[in-house]
Amino acid sequence: MLAEKRFELILQELSDARTASVMRLCELTGASEATIRRDLTALAKQGRLNKVHGGAVLAASEFQGEEPDVPTKTQLFQFEKAAIAKYAAGLISHDDVIYLDAGTTTMRMIDYLGGCKATFVTNGIACAHRMLEMGLRAYIIGGYLKPGTWAVVGPTALAELGKYNFTKAFLGINGITIRQGFTTPDPEEAAIKAKAAEQSYLTYVLADSSKFEKVSAVTVLPLEKATIITERLPDPDYLEQTVIKEVSH
């Protein structure tokens, strides 16, 4: 049986039953276990199913259309964000030039940066205010101030980012999937994140486990372009795509 036909049968079985074991798929297609496992890996990389121990389940990526405002997001996953932020802050050296993205997890990093001599650049109004309070050497880029996320975006912001060479960039994100990569709802914010990563030697995405298997409208980066820092990795298949650091909380 051709691979395309096996794929069709596998996806039809998942559509009907939502889950299928390797043994069941072997019976259905007449293929060997090794072949079915390779098929499941290929389909998982396409985002059409999720591999689990002994089989597969129907892909459960959740589309995220709108983004909560900053006060709302600040109240979510506080312990997880604190653990992620503390680890990320520990990666910063005094001689670094750091891009710090607008976001509630990146803002939590600042609590752990007292006395740091690094130079910081941000597009986040809340981040800039907190860095000022902490006495950090910080610059904020100019541009359009977006309501809701309090992020500076637009052509002016992009042009300013192009003047910097960062040693490390720390980005917030809304969704992470193997197929779509790192995603966010707003095209202008996506452009800022992508530009910051382009200008940086190392890029880190700070994401609590709720961000996995969620998709927003615009892809920022493919997974291999950034290291993920999270408190828990829900699916080990992501380890085949990029470097991931799990931190305890």
What lies within 8 Å, CB to CB, of 152 at 6+ separation is 102, 123, 124, 125, 140, 141, 142, 143, 144, 145, 146, 192
Fold type of domain 64-246: Rossmann fold (3.40.50)
Q: 167: helix, coil or strand?
A: strand
CA-CA distance, 203 to 171, in Å (whole number)?
Answer: 8
Give the type of residue at 115. Answer: G
Pairing of strands 244-246, 227-230: parallel
Q: Determine if residue 18 is left, alpha or beta; phi over 0 gives left, psi from -120 to 50 gives alpha, anything else beta.
A: left
pTM for the structure as a whole: 0.75
pLDDT at residue 198, as a whole number: 98
**Cα–Cα dist 29/158, whole Å:** 51
**Residue 18 and residue 153: Cα distance in Å, rounded?**
41
Beta-carbon count within 10 A of 9 CB:
18
CB 124 within 8 A of CB 103: yes
CA atoms within 13 A on the CB side of 196: 31
3-state helix, strand, coil in the chain (%, to 5): 40, 30, 30
Half-sphere exposure of 107 (CA within 13 A, CB side): 21
Q: What ranges do the domains of the chain cover?
A: 3-60, 64-246
Averages of pLDDT over each 10 residues, the chain, 249 residues:
87 80 91 92 81 74 57 69 96 98 94 96 96 96 92 96 98 91 92 98 95 88 97 91 91
Q: What is the pLDDT of residue 75?
A: 56
Q: What does the alpha-carbon distance between residue 44 and residue 56 come to, in Å, rounded to a whole number?
A: 9
CATH class label, 3-60? mainly alpha
Q: Which long-range contacts (CB under 8 A, 24 or more apart) does 136-140 make?
A: 136/110
Q: Tell me the pairing of strands 97-100 and 119-122.
A: parallel
